[in-house]
Amino acid sequence: MNFLTVQRILGLLLMVFSVTMLPPIGVALYFQDGHWQPFLDAFATLLILGAIVWFPARKCVRELRLRDGFLVVSLFWIVLSLAGAVPLWLSDRPDLTVTDAVFEAVSGFTTTGATVIVGIDDLPVSILYFRQQIQWLGGIGIVVLAVALLPMLGVGGMQLLKAESPRPAKDVRLTPRITETAKALWAIYLALTVLCAGGYWLAGMTPFDAIAHAFTTVSTGGHSTHDASMGYFDNVAVEIVASLFMFLGSVNFALHYFVLRHRRVTDYFSDPEFRAFFMLVVMLMVVTSGMLIVNNIYNPDVAIRTAVFQAISTQTGTGFFTTDYSLWPGALPVILLLATFISGSAGSTSGGMKVIRWLLIWKQGLREVQRLIHPSAEIPVRIGSKPVDWRIIDSVWGFFAAYIILFGVLMVAMMLTGADQVTAFSAIAACMTNYGIGLGEVASNFTSLSDFAKWLCVVAMLLGRLEIFPLLVIATPSFWRR
């Protein structure tokens, strides 16, 4: 392990990150909400802290190994979450405890969108903006951003990207240089965000709301500047724009890249994961609207509008809402919550276990059936027309097992804090899949949970965002053994 190099990179990162405190100051000055002090303090604190961490190790320029990569990535997320909590904690409106501030920041970075703040509409504009901005930074991956910005990471950048998103599919390089790949991803992300903001603005939002919501739509985060989330606008056009960009944000960004480069929209549908994701979204829409109509909750037109929006918001793991769906009848809330376990495509901004993994597991199941019928047949598992390496399938099962076990452990721990079963299940599910909306006590916000339960949620969110393994790896003794 190369601690000095890790320290140097972390210090640099903190210093770079401190710059993100400046836009909220601008917002505060522009809207004259008189709330720039916490951000200025946070800016100075983080800059100095970063410099202190960086300075002693500044000359240690060595290449990162895969192992260092895991450590750096995990620390990135943990340290930046804490750093993001600083201005929230320093602020007196809202007056948050350390736990709440960290919860809010982690929920932002991991694009979960769960909140412990009630009365969002009354907060200073700068704080509102900051919450949205955090989600946007976390969206495509803070590490991707770092790799794009810090070219000196070199090959190390690749180790970092690998550690941040252990993809089940073969890792697709968009360009030969990893820095260029990261830049391409961010360019797509930025373009989608700009388009989304334009769409919101045309649909009737104020420019501020348009930008703020574009940040959390493309990142499938789900923070809003209003307590009522998208319900505040009550505007079909806004919901259509939101649905479109939540969907696009949940498509593999590499696929966006190739579609753009080949200028062929049909490329989307030749990708098996995209097709599966598309099917899932459509199915969820049909089931939701059908059940709403059958149970006579809404008129058919309202039912379809609500169902379409809620289905996409859930399937993509965003967590916008136009109505409190936990009050819907029967199995519907649970169906929606379960959909977030699948969530969007690998290599997108969405959370959950990713469509491709479920697709592989599904195909494995089919193969077992085939094997029972033809015991001696050689049946490869295929995605599209390409057979999948058994190692990838192995890793999917490993991921699945680790996910379920950790989920169970966290849920039981949550129940030990006194939460009822529905609350515990849905809170951990909402956090681990980075969806952000639970059922029961945590249907609209996480305020009522105890401090310990909130920390459990923080862990769940980070585990979910980093797809379990990086955190698990650094928690194993053999990682630290030389």
Note the residues at the interface with other proteins (CB under 8 A).
66, 154-155, 157-158, 173, 175-178, 180
Buried b (16+ CB within 10 A) or exposed e, 379-410: eebebeeeebeeebbebbeebbeebeebbeeb
Shortest distance in whole angstroms from residue 177 CB to other proteins: 5
HSE-CB for 255 with a 13 A CA cutoff: 23
Q: Which is nearer to other proteins, 79 or 153 (CB)?
A: 153
Please tell me the distance from the alpha carbon of residue 326 to that of residue 307, in angstroms, as a whole number.
Answer: 13
Count how many residues are written for the chain. 482
Q: Are 157 and 178 in contact (CB under 8 A)?
A: yes
Please tell me the distance from the alpha carbon of residue 92 to that of residue 378, in angstroms, as a whole number.
Answer: 65
Please tell me the distance from the alpha carbon of residue 127 to that of residue 44, in angstroms, as a whole number.
Answer: 17
Shortest distance in whole angstroms from residue 382 CB to other proteins: 16
HSE-CB for 137 with a 13 A CA cutoff: 27
Shortest distance in whole angstroms from residue 295 CB to other proteins: 50
| DSSP letter (8 states) at residue 174 | S
Q: Which is nearer to other proteins, 144 or 414 (CB)?
A: 144
Q: Which is nearer to other proteins, 178 or 428 (CB)?
A: 178
Bridge partner residues of 119 (DSSP): none
Shortest distance in whole angstroms from residue 174 CB to other proteins: 8
- State how beta strands 386-387 and 382-383 pair: antiparallel
Cα distances (angstroms) measured from residue 253 to each of 182, 200, 317: 11, 22, 16
Shortest distance in whole angstroms from residue 151 CB to other proteins: 8
Q: Which is nearer to other proteins, 175 or 206 (CB)?
A: 175
Q: Which is nearer to other proteins, 58 or 177 (CB)?
A: 177
Shortest distance in whole angstroms from residue 178 CB to other proteins: 5
Residue 469: count of CB within 10 angstroms of its CB: 17
Q: Which is nearer to other proteins, 41 or 171 (CB)?
A: 171
Shortest distance in whole angstroms from residue 15 CB to other proteins: 23
Please tell me the distance from the alpha carbon of residue 466 to that of residue 459, in angstroms, as a whole number.
Answer: 11
Shortest distance in whole angstroms from residue 183 CB to other proteins: 13
Lookup result for tokens 């405190």? 21
| CB-count exposure of residue 9 (10 Å: 0-12, 13-18, 19+) | buried
Shortest distance in whole angstroms from residue 359 CB to other proteins: 21
Q: Which is nearer to other proteins, 33 or 180 (CB)?
A: 180
Please tell me the distance from the alpha carbon of residue 102 to that of residue 110, in angstroms, as a whole number.
Answer: 12
Lookup result for tokens 């080949």? 262
Q: Which is nearer to other proteins, 93 or 177 (CB)?
A: 177
Shortest distance in whole angstroms from residue 188 CB to other proteins: 18
Q: Among residues 468, 439, 218, 464, which one has the least CA distance to residue 337?
A: 439
Q: Which is nearer to other proteins, 177 or 226 (CB)?
A: 177
Lookup result for tokens 């709403």? 292
Q: Which is nearer to other proteins, 175 or 448 (CB)?
A: 175
| CB-count exposure of residue 477 (10 Å: 0-12, 13-18, 19+) | exposed
Q: Which is nearer to other proteins, 178 or 248 (CB)?
A: 178
Please tell me the distance from the alpha carbon of residue 64 to that of residue 72, in angstroms, as a whole number.
Answer: 9
Shortest distance in whole angstroms from residue 181 CB to other proteins: 8
Q: Are 351 and 110 in contact (CB under 8 A)?
A: yes
Shortest distance in whole angstroms from residue 155 CB to other proteins: 5
Cα distances (angstroms) measured from residue 317 to each of 20, 113, 191, 257: 25, 9, 21, 22
Q: Which is nearer to other proteins, 176 or 477 (CB)?
A: 176
